[in-house]
Amino acid sequence: MVQRLTDTEIDAALKELAGWRRVEGRSAIARSFKFADFNQAFGFMARIALMAEKLDHHPEWSNVYNRVEITLTTHDAGGISARDLKLARFIDSL
């Protein structure tokens, strides 16, 4: 089973993840992205989807035209885990 990270571990990781923030009221991190148009936003999501499948770890997300909202949490761990941080780092690399 995947282990939930401590608050200290999460806070340390967030210092290295630009733009990611804690979600109020739950153990999750989130980030908003804005693109020039729908095509760029959808392409961004497609690249994330391919990696999410490889990691077997899928984001909570939404897309409205050129905006993408992503929330990461590990349901099996009941909160933020190393899987979330790994996926956030990949997303940031795009």
pLDDT in tens, the chain (94 residues): 799 999 999 999 999 999 999 999 999 999 999 999 999 999 999 999 999 999 999 999 999 999 999 999 999 999 999 999 999 999 999 9
Collect all residues with Cβ–Cβ distance below 8 Å to 44 and sequence separation of at least 6: 33, 35, 68, 94
The domain defined by 7-93 carries CATH number 3.60.110.10: no
Note the pLDDT of residue 1.
79
Note the pLDDT of residue 46.
98
pTM (global) more than 0.75: yes
**Region of 56 on the Ramachandran plot (φ > 0 left; ψ -120 to 50 alpha; else beta):** left
Query: Which 3 state secondary structure label does DSSP give 68?
Result: strand
Collect all residues with Cβ–Cβ distance below 8 Å to 80 and sequence separation of at least 6: 4, 5, 10, 27, 28, 29, 72, 73, 74
